[in-house]
Amino acid sequence: MISDGKVLNNIIATQSVHEKYGGVVPELASRAHQQHVVPVVHEALTDSGISKGELSAVAFTRGPGLMGSLLVGGSFAKSFAFALDLPLIEVNHMEAHILAHFIEDPKPSFPFICLTVSGGHTQLVLVRDYLDMEVIGETLDDAVGEAFDKTAKLLGLPYPGGPHLDKLAATGNPGAFVFPITSMRGLNYSFSGIKTAVLYFLRDRVQGDPGFIEKRLPDICASIQYTLIKMLLLKLMKASTTYGIDQIAIAGGVSANQGLRKALAGLSEKLGWQVFIPRLEYCTDNAAMIAMAGHFKYQKGIFCDLDVSPSAKMKIGDHGKNK
């Protein structure tokens, strides 16, 4: 819930159902969405002290994301808005991650470059205004979040593996092992290679020493994390130089990674960057960032029709149409 640009609450229902499968199961995700959407909305209204009759608009995630979950959320939002005769606002999931920087101070000034990093996306975005964004670089295959989780799974870490790898990396030696850094043309990324490199590295080491992973786990995690972060920051530095911008932000679930945060703090001192990172609860997928994106669209009168369809591959810059 949001009022006049101020977040009133950020109610989230977690989905622990995926843990035993070692990854998100789309069908289970959509079923969990269906199960939780009504209680979550009810709790948000009750907690804020705002009645349904006092609402001005309804914002929902149109995409990108898992189609089943988008269908559940979109169908509920359209029904809710129709029943209350309220404007409907479609939100781009990745733009919302970037706009999470405007939930609370300190806030970046325009223009700034945002590195959006999650399980499904890795993008460099030039942000000229609240609703004026351009993707200037992105992964051509896997997202960095997937690389974190998949390599963590190879090491036998619980799901989601990224946070566990990050925690172990803090006690390891990042220079213990060397993994290849893939360099793509321009500002684009590629993370598929490191997953394969780690797979063969572990296979070869375990053949000679079955207890290798257990003995060197922190060092392996630190070396993997060092490589992934270096790949991210090399392109980020290039983008900063190319566009002459020292206002730097990160967003998305992987922006909660402590190794990435520490590395950015170091670059901030070295290069004179002003670095902006949302509070942890606003880094992962959350309701507040969708509400904030909805707030800026409401101010511009950018609404959508009730027949709008979810888009699993919705692009940054697609803002629907005026109602």
Per-residue b or e along 147-156, where b marks 16 or more CB atoms closer than 10 Å to that residue's CB: bbbbbbbbbe
C-beta separation of 257 from 166 below 8 A: yes
**Residues annotated in the binding site for substrate, as ranges?**
116-120, 149, 162, 166, 257
C-beta separation of 268 from 260 below 8 A: no
Side chain identity at 173, as an amino acid letter? Answer: N
**Residues annotated in the binding site, as ranges?**
93, 97, 116-120, 149, 162, 166, 257, 285
Q: Which residue has the tokens 């803090």?
A: 170
C-alpha neighbours within 13 Å on the C-beta side of residue 32: 14
DSSP 314: P
C-beta separation of 81 from 88 below 8 A: yes
Q: What is the number of other CB atoms lying within 10 angstroms of the CB of residue 308?
A: 17
Give the angle subtended at the CA of 171 by the CAs of 116 and 251, to the nearest 5°: 10
Query: Helices 161-169 and 258-271, interaxial angle, to 10°?
Result: 60
Q: What is the number of other CB atoms lying within 10 angstroms of the CB of residue 109?
A: 9
Residue 179's nearest CA partner among 145, 213, 226 is 226
